[in-house]
Each structure stands twice: as C-alpha cells, then as structure tokens.
Amino acid sequence: MANAFIVYWHPEPKSFNHAMFITAQHALSSSGWDVETSDLHAMGFNPVSSRANFLSVKDPDYLKLQIEEMHATEVDGFASDLRAEMDKLESCDLMIWQFPLWWFGLPAVLKGWVDRVFAMGRTYGGGRLYDQGVFRGRRALLSLTTGGPSEAYVKGGFNGDLHGILKPIHRGMLQFVGFDVLAPHIVYAPVRMTDEQRAAELEAFGRRLAAIDGEEPIAIGPY
C-alpha cells in the first residue's frame, strides 16, 4: 500500500483550506492510500528553530543548526516532536502541503516546519541533493488557495505568474531534497465563490487525488 502524508496549516477549522484537507484525506483513503497527517495548527507545532530541536548537543557554546542537525542524525538526538514528523516524511510516497498563499509564500508555521524538519544530515547533505536527493522517486504536491482571482496571477497580471511565485518552494525546498514535483493544485479566491462553486472545487480536487497515482511530475529547472 502506498503512503501519503498531508501537512496542513490554517488557523480556522471552518476554512476552505480545512475542507480541502478533509477532502484529500477521504479521496486518498478511498483510493487505497495509507494516509498520515500533520495539522500543524491543531498540534500547536512550534515553528521556531532553537536548541529545543535537539536532545543532543555537539557544541554547547555556539548554536550552529546544521552542525547540531548532523550530530543529532548520528546519535538519534532529535526532539520527539521533530522525530515524529521526520518519520512521517520518510515513510511517504506522496506528500501534500495544504495552505493559503500568504505574502507570496508559505505561512510562517509551515515554513517553520520545513526549517525544523528538513534537517541536514537526515534529509539532505553529503551530495544528496536534487536528482540525488534523499526523497528521489517520491512525489510532492502543493495544494493552495489565493486571495485574488486567477487573472491576477499570470505573467503581466497584477501579482505576476503564480508558477514563478511558487518556484522557490518547488525548487528550493521540494526538489532540493529529491522530490518529484506535481503540478500545483490552486483554488483562486474561494472567498469570492458561492457555496455551489466551492463544493464543485472540492469535488474536482477529490477526483484529481483519486487518480493522482498516474500523474507525471512537471519540469522545474534551475534559475
């Protein structure tokens, strides 16, 4: 059985993002996936990197996170909250990040999850990058909502090309550690939709995920 891991953040459980989170769980489970989740808001996940990331200590006088991460990898010295997230990450065949696009990027808690969980020595390093990354052969999908309409997110549009906006995440986070990246799933301005339109978007998302095993990754090259 294939394993899916959904990492989700939104502060409001009645939000459309939460509805997409639930839709993804149901669609994948119904299609035979074993689904694990991290609802970062509900978990109270701490996004701030510090010595609290570690049970182990390499240098007590100066905190260099990458050095401490490499040491923790060697001695199994990650804090229990990070170890749990790393275990879910390492077991997945498909990872989905569900989030609202805030300030042209990831919300702070989800970005902090990446900062803390994508640890040097364990998820990258030693030449294990991009095509040689730890997660080569696995796939990743960004599923997100925007505040503005679709015409605002094209080349020459008010906010510019959304695919260009997402490239630092696609290339600098997901491909960096080896994931193959699927085309993002974008719902533009759900706040401006009717209930019927939102329901149709959720149905379309569920249909996509039911058939996602047959999708091919998109091409995202270097800058």
pLDDT in tens, 110-154: 999 999 999 999 999 999 988 899 999 999 999 999 998 889 888
Work out the pLDDT band at 39, boundaries 50, 70, 90.
very high
Work out the pLDDT band at 1, boundaries 50, 70, 90.
low
Asked if pLDDT for residue 103 goes beyond 80, the answer is yes
Q: Helix axis angle, 108-117 relative to 80-91, nearest 10°?
A: 90
Asked if pLDDT for residue 85 goes beyond 70, the answer is yes
Q: Quote the pTM value.
A: 0.94
The answer to whether 70 and 76 have CB atoms below 8 angstroms apart is: no
According to the model, what pLDDT value does residue 92 have?
A: 97
Whether 222 is in a domain gets the answer no
% of the chain at pLDDT higher than 90 = 87
Whether 126 is in a domain gets the answer yes
Whether 220 is in a domain gets the answer no
Whether 223 is in a domain gets the answer no
Mean pLDDT over 205-211 rounds to 96
Work out the pLDDT band at 160, boundaries 50, 70, 90.
confident
Mean pLDDT of the chain: 95
According to the model, what pLDDT value does residue 157 have?
A: 80
Quick one: 111 exposed, middle or buried, by C-beta within 10 A (0-12, 13-18, 19+)?
Answer: middle
According to the model, what pLDDT value does residue 139 have?
A: 97
CATH number at residue 115: 3.40.50.360
**Total domains present in the chain:** 1
Reference 185, options 204, 161, 160; nearest CA is 204
Domain region containing 93: 3-214
Whether 219 is in a domain gets the answer no
Whether 221 is in a domain gets the answer no
According to the model, what pLDDT value does residue 223 have?
A: 62
- Cα 186 to Cα 154: distance, rounded to the nearest angstrom: 13
